[in-house]
Amino acid sequence: MSRSASVPSVRATRRRIGPTEGTEGAAVTDNAPGRPLRALVVTVVHHPQDSRIRHREIAALLDAGWQVTYLAPFSAHAVVVPAPEGGLTCVDLPRATGRERVGAARAARAQVRRLAPEHDVIVVHDPELLIATAGLRLDHLVWDVHEDPAGALAVKDWLPRPLRRPVAGAWRAAERLVERRHPLLLAEHAYADRFRREHVVVPNAVVIPRSVPAAGGARLIHVGNLTRARGSELMVEGARLAHAASAGEITLEVVGPARDEASRVAMEAGVAEGVVVWHGFQPAEQAMATIDGALAGLSLLRDLPNYRGSMPTKVVEYLAHGVPAITTPLPLARGIVAEADAGVVVPFDDPQAVADAALRLWRAPEQAAAMGERGRELVRERYDWAKGGAAFVEALTDVAGERSPRR
């Protein structure tokens, strides 16, 4: 009998762990009492300071007594590779971007091959890494599923349009092969429909500040990467209209890097007109602080397949900071905002609707503050990482106990 057939895995537990479930994760295995568990965490796509990877998942492992080796594209993002500290060791990798992905994949494969035997669990965050590590016989590899890669191909400019549909179909088939071999963690319950088995769900919960100022004033906020698909041009145009209608009072503050040329041009134009304050990338703690006391947070994602089954993390972050959200009507975002009456849902690709929503809140600051507080209460109940972190650690502890090469 093969190891995969004789040893139960997380995917075979037939359960989902949400942010309000789970217990404290153990820091040692039953087979080796007293020995810290070790995780190898790898990305070649995400920023090294990615909130889910670095500031929630890795932080939760370190708090639980794990040792973590973190492979990420530090230099490519102009980030100094941190010195080893507090159980965390960081290793630089090239960044996979556009069609320049082969070098990053090769570097990641070489590092994973070298380091895998020294770690109890490997957590990969990019679909590219599943291909890059194929054939290495990594039974203890876990795929943290952040998005719908097949759906995301619809907006990948680096992939020729005629190839997008067949490549997406091939990826759907590949996902089913991956789940036969590896445990998965899903960032959304809605992702479960893509797979044949049940997998652990660790949603994009957030760290909820103990106290925040009331929402209000005249400052709109957007925190996150900037792309056309994420509504970068729409948010600038909506802010421009609101700025004019408020006699220059309403402005837009943006924290996040431009990931395409159209977004860069839109942001720079907004800055030149005095409508936008653009900070670029900021570390997570600093970025989150800019949300406090804003009038509303913008989440203006377009109607694209990879967004339809996902909760935009920024919506939850805005609400966690007591700031109402102005969001396009993606199902999960619309649901949470409508349920708590915690913001305004606007049509896709409608800058005038964005401006009207901002103006309505600006003229009724008490309403904005009340919306933010209701949203904050709902997020505290459902999306608190203080609870989700324990579930994440428990899931990886299970994998280590069943599959670690160090047992």
Tell me the pLDDT tens digit for each residue of 372-392: 999 999 999 989 998 889 889
pLDDT of residue 193: 77
When pLDDT is cut at 50, 70 and 90, the band that residue 191 belongs to is confident
Q: Which of 90, 93, 88, 53 is nearest to 77 (CA)?
A: 93
Instruction: State whether 139 and 279 are in the same domain.
Output: no
Instruction: State whether 345 and 283 are in the same domain.
Output: yes
Tell whether 214 is covered by a domain. no
What total number of domains does the chain contain? 2
- Helix (H) or strand (E) segment spanning residue 229: none
Tell whether 407 is covered by a domain. no
Domain that holds residue 363: 219-382
Tell whether 147 is covered by a domain. yes
Average pLDDT, the chain: 87
Whether the predicted pLDDT of 349 surpasses 90: yes
Helix/strand/coil for 216: coil
Tell whether 286 is covered by a domain. yes
Instruction: State whether 28 and 176 are in the same domain.
Output: yes
Whether the predicted pLDDT of 5 surpasses 50: no
Tell whether 210 is covered by a domain. no
What would the pLDDT profile of 288-316 be if each residue is shown by its tens digit?
999 999 999 999 999 988 788 788 899 99
Tell whether 142 is covered by a domain. yes
Instruction: State whether 389 and 378 are in the same domain.
Output: no
Instruction: State whether 306 and 369 are in the same domain.
Output: yes
Q: What is the CATH number of the domain that holds 40?
A: 3.40.50.2000
Instruction: State whether 234 and 201 are in the same domain.
Output: no
- Helix (H) or strand (E) segment spanning residue 194: none
pLDDT of residue 155: 59
Residue 364, Ramachandran bin (φ over 0: left; ψ between -120 and 50: alpha; else beta): beta
Instruction: State whether 199 and 240 are in the same domain.
Output: no
Instruction: State whether 263 and 314 are in the same domain.
Output: yes
Q: Which residue has the higher pLDDT, 107 or 164?
A: 107
Find how far residue 141's CA is from the centre of its chain: 20
CA 55 to CA 132: how far, in whole Å?
25
Whether the predicted pLDDT of 3 surpasses 90: no
Instruction: State whether 273 and 141 are in the same domain.
Output: no
Instruction: State whether 391 and 359 are in the same domain.
Output: no
Tell whether 146 is covered by a domain. yes
Instruction: State whether 336 and 256 are in the same domain.
Output: yes
Q: Which of 129, 115, 238 is nearest to 182 (CA)?
A: 129
Q: Say what the pTM is.
A: 0.78
Whether the predicted pLDDT of 18 surpasses 50: no
When pLDDT is cut at 50, 70 and 90, the band that residue 17 belongs to is very low
pLDDT of residue 168: 63
Tally Cβ neighbours within 10 Å of residue 157. Answer: 12
Residue 382, Ramachandran bin (φ over 0: left; ψ between -120 and 50: alpha; else beta): alpha
Instruction: State whether 293 and 348 are in the same domain.
Output: yes
| C-alpha gyration radius of the chain | 21
pLDDT of residue 32: 52
Q: Length of the chain in residues, anyone? A: 407
Q: Which residue has the higher pLDDT, 128 or 116?
A: 116
Tell whether 212 is covered by a domain. no
